[in-house]
Amino acid sequence: MSTPPPAWLPEGMSSPLDDKLGVRITDYDPDRLVATMPVAGNEQPFGLLHGGATCTLVETIGSVAAALGAGPDNQVVGVELNVSYLRAATAGTVTAVCTPVRRGRSLSTFLIDVSDAEGRRTATARLTCMTLAARNRSGRDGG
């Protein structure tokens, strides 16, 4: 890991779905987050990486990028996801690289490129997230 997660980011921030799919963030650089996911176990019936698995990968890395930009006193939610599939991945590991387009007070947009083990782009995505005040466990705004 080149850039570790900030100390305030909750440990084990991955979701149960991320765990099932094997999504792992390998670099937390806020200007270039990197995550990986195995193709094995995430294929559709024809042996190709499932589009839903790709969406999970890009939504996860983009949401973490938004959370890093929003800071510890806020939470983020995705409001738009657009994914274009360019080439099928059939084996190995895919790698997603997320870069910010715009980090605003209430909306942030990120571009995410997904590549196969040979470095060939398999998908490109755009994710927009909204920043909200953090909610406490009771569901009310505030700390």
- What's the pLDDT tens digit per position in 116-133? 999 999 999 999 999 998
Instruction: Report the pLDDT value the prediction gives residue 137, as an integer from 0 to 100.
Output: 46
Give the model confidence (pLDDT) of 9-56 as tens digits.
Answer: 877 677 899 999 999 999 999 999 999 999 999 999 999 999 999 999
What is the CA 103 to chain-centroid distance, rounded? 16
- Is 131 within 8 Å of 105 (Cβ atoms)? yes
Q: Which residue has the tokens 């850039």?
A: 3
Q: For 107, list phi and psi in degrees, rounded to 5.
A: -130, 140
pLDDT exceeds cutoff 80 at 5? yes
**Which residue out of 11, 43, 59, 118 is catalytically annotated?**
59
Residue type, 13: M
Among residues 23, 91, 90, 88, which one has the least CA distance to residue 62?
Answer: 23
The DSSP annotation for the chain comes to --SPPPTTSPTT---HHHHHHT-EEEE--TTSEEEEEESTT-B-TTSSBPHHHHHHHHHHHHHHHHHHHH-TTEEEEEEEEEEEE-S---SSEEEEEEEEEEE-SSEEEEEEEEE-TTS-EEEEEEEEEEEEE-B-TTS-B--
Is 118 catalytic? The answer is: no
Residue 1 has pLDDT above 90, yes or no: no
Confidence (pLDDT) at 143:
46
List pLDDT tens digits, range 60-114.
999 999 999 999 999 999 999 999 999 999 999 999 999 999 999 999 999 999 9
Map out the domains of the chain with their CATH numbers. Answer: 16-133 (3.10.129.10)
Strands 24-27 and 74-85: unpaired
**pLDDT tens digit string along 75-88?**
999 999 999 999 99
